[in-house]
Structure 1
Amino acid sequence: MTLAPPPGRPLAGMRIVEVSAFVAAPLGGMTLAQLGAEVVRVDPIGGAADRSRWPLAPSGASMYWAGLNKAKRSLCVDLRSPEGQELVTRLVAESGPDGGIVLTNAVGRPWLGHHALTRHRPDLIHVAIEGHHDGTPAVDYTVNAAVGFPMVTGPEGHAGPVNHVLPAWDIACGLYAAIAILAAERRRRATGQGQALRVALHDVALAMAGNLGFLAEAQIGGVPRPRVGNHLYGGFGRDFATRDGRRVMVVALTARHWRDLVEVTGLKAAVTALEGALGADFSTEGDRYRHREVLAGLLAGWFAGHDLAQVEDRLRRTSALWSVYRTFAELVGERAGELRANPMMALLDQPGIGEHLAPGCPIDPGDAARPEVVRAPELGEHTAEILRGLGLTAAEIEDLRARGVVAGPAGAGPVGDA
Structure 2
Amino acid sequence: MATSIVLGAGMVGVSTALALQQRGDDVLLVDRKGIGRETSYGNAGAIQTEACEPTAFPRSVGFLLKAATKQHNMINWHPRAVIENRHALWGYWKNSAPARHAAISQWYARFTAKAEKHHAPLAKAADAEHLIRRSGYIAAFRQASTLESHMKTAERLKQGWDVPVVELSDAQVHEKEPALNVSLAGGLWFSNVWTCQSPGALTSAYGELFKQRGGSVAYGDAMSLAATEDGGWSVMTEQGRVEAERVVVALGPWSSELTERFGYRIPLLRKRGYHRHFTSSSGPNNAMLDVDNATFMSPMNQGLRVCTGAEITQFDAPADLRQISRAEQAAREFFELGERVESAPWIGHRPCLPDMLPVIGAAPRHNGLWFHFGHAHQGFTGGPAAAQLLMELMVDGKSPDWAAHFSPARFG
Q: Aligning the two structures, in what range does the TM-score lie when normalised by the shorter sequence?
A: under 0.3
Taking structure 2 as the reference length, the TM-score comes to 0.27
Higher RCO (C-alpha under 8 Å, 6+ residues apart): 2
Structure 1 or 2: more strand by fraction: 2
Pick the structure with greater CA Rg: 1
Taking structure 1 as the reference length, the TM-score comes to 0.26
